[in-house]
A and B are shown apart, each in its own frame.
Chain A
């Protein structure tokens, strides 16, 4: 049972470089999310998806793009990294039955932009 897998786990970027974070889930969940976690800020939603081929902006979408070409994968892209994007990034997937819901999280990606 892999659950939610994020790659890479650690990365250091130089300002202006680009990268893509991959999130993969094997639970056939419709919903997927990207959050960033910063000290004292909790988890803030960057982008999310309610199904294959759909994406929506969250609370802090600027500087990020996402794609959900396959149901099991949700990619987060940084086109031109900035030091303000230094953070820990968490991916999550969830189901919603109309009554019940639960989200499952990956182990996180620690990104440092220098």
Chain B
């Protein structure tokens, strides 16, 4: 079945550091890929998405590129801020399954 593997957290960075959170997937069919963010005490919000190979999703300085050859969708940001502290979830969706499959989430903590 479909699955998503994310790097274990927590990830602790200083403000303005470079961020990478790794995500790889296994899917039957051709999935759409997503990064969701969850701030403390809140639900999940879509951060960015990509629907086909080599697409780059971007939002709020975050980027991720859909790499079909390596089945990956790594999240990056060039300079993190304290306000980026949250839990980040990688997810995939295939039309045949009609459901979102999530990774376990990676907690990011950014300090001054």
Contacts and interface: CB of A to CB of B under 8 A. Distances in A.
Interface of A: 4, 31, 33, 35, 40-45, 48, 50, 58, 90, 92, 94, 96, 98-108
A31 B32 CA distance: 16
Contacts of A43: 44, 89, 102, 105
Given A100-B51, A105-B43, A42 B100 contact: no
B102 A105 contact: no
A39 B46 CA distance: 20
Contacts of A35: 102
Contacts, number: 57
Contacts of A106: 43
Interface stretch (B12-20, B63-71, B73-81, B91-99): B91-99
B99 A42 contact: no
Interface residues of B, number: 21
Nearest to B45: A105
A37 B32 CA distance: 22
Nearest to B42: A107
Interface in B5-35: 32, 34
Nearest to A41: B104
A40 B107 CA distance: 10
Contacts of A100: 32, 51
Contacts of A102: 46, 49
Contact of B99 (A4, A41, A58, A107): A58
Given A42-B105, A98-B95, A92 B42 contact: no
Nearest to A100: B51
Given A31-B98, A43-B89, A58-B99, A105 B44 contact: yes
